[in-house]
Amino acid sequence: MRSGKFITLEGIDGAGKSTQLAWIVQLLQRVDCATVVTREPGGTPLGEQLRVLLLDKSITMHPETEALLMFAARREHLDKVILPALTLGQWVISDRFSDASFAYQGGGRGVNIQKLAILEQWTQDSVQPDLTLYFDVPVELGQQRVSQIKNADRFEQEQSDFFQRVRVAYRDRARQFPHRIKIIDSSLPLNEVKAAVEKILLNILKHG
């Protein structure tokens, strides 16, 4: 059994994370990596209840309230799911983690980045993903994909300028942490995106 790794998937709505998630899990399981698949906000009973509040388009809240709820869910997520799984040597694959807070609440909502950094340090201490796959896609394409969703949530219904800010924040974050965050062009054909992901994962499997 291989030692555990913490891998996160990031991107604006419509970037194709969900499409890649199932395939990533299949790849890891083929090479004998015990995996735990989870998501943010969510992953725990409390986190899933907070997710309902955060995605409910009938609810309005202050951007900092939104950020605090995200990190509250994350604290539970770490305590109940992520850290126990890593201790057991399992691979944790999470659909979003703290990079999403810097992108959505920081870039999208305009929450002060220093405040988010304080919350990150308080909530996570030194815990960071071993690898983050950032699926980058032009906002127009992402919105085209999201438009096919019948019941868009509170984030999915945002306008293009919001997602432009989110995308800029994600790309800034990737430049800040290039050793961890790998940018994948998610506008390419699916087989090319899959090949790029596979190359990155096989490298981490080979070199640890």
- CA–CA gap between residue 90 and residue 23 (Å, rounded): 17
pLDDT band at 149 (very low <50, low <70, confident <90, very high): low
Token pair belonging to 41: 């906000």
User: What are the tens digits of pLDDT across the range 29-55?
Assistant: 888 899 999 999 999 999 999 999 999
Neighbours of 198 (CB within 10 A): 13
The topology (CATH level 3) of 6-207 is Rossmann fold (3.40.50)
- CA–CA gap between residue 126 and residue 133 (Å, rounded): 19
Q: Which residue type is seen at 57?
A: K
CB 174 within 8 Å of CB 181: yes
- CA–CA gap between residue 148 and residue 88 (Å, rounded): 39
Q: What is the mean pLDDT of residues 133-151?
A: 86
Q: What is the mean pLDDT of residues 167-192?
A: 96
CB 101 within 8 Å of CB 121: no
Look at the alpha carbons of 176, 64, 95, 74 in this order and tell me if their dihedral is positive or negative. Answer: positive
Mean of per-residue pLDDT scores for the chain: 93
User: What are the tens digits of pLDDT across the range 89-100?
Assistant: 999 999 999 999
Query: What pLDDT does residue 81 have?
Result: 98
User: What are the tens digits of pLDDT across the range 1-30?
Assistant: 457 899 999 999 889 898 899 899 999 988
